[in-house]
Amino acid sequence: MNIRNETSLIIGFHSRGEKQKIREKLNTFTAEKMKLDKFMSMFLEKFERKMNWEDLDTPIWNLYRKKSDEYSKVSQLIKVATYYSTKP
């Protein structure tokens, strides 16, 4: 998911007055965030004990960082979509 492309799409929808498309994007991002929430909860429940703070270059840590980055991007896109969906 590319933040710039998605943000540009949202801004384009707003400039054309297509609020429904912004809401659809917002729903998509919210669903994605919920999936990532569930994944992260299950991931930490299963691998928390195996996550060694002294050795951060392991497959477990790499996957955790990757999913954490995705979560941050989705959260940012939700904020953008929410802003433009409520902006007149």
Indicate if the pLDDT at residue 79 is higher than 80: yes
CB proximity list for 85: less than 8 A, separation 6 or greater: 19, 22, 23, 26
Average pLDDT rounded to a whole number, residues 50-78:
94
Residue ranges making up the domain that contains 81? 3-86
Q: For 49, what's the count of Cα atoms within 13 Å in the CB-facing half-sphere?
A: 2
* Count of structural domains, the chain: 1
Average pLDDT across the chain, whole number? 95
Chain segment 19-49, per-residue pLDDT in tens: 999 999 999 999 999 999 999 999 999 999 9
pLDDT band at residue 88 under the 50/70/90 scheme: confident
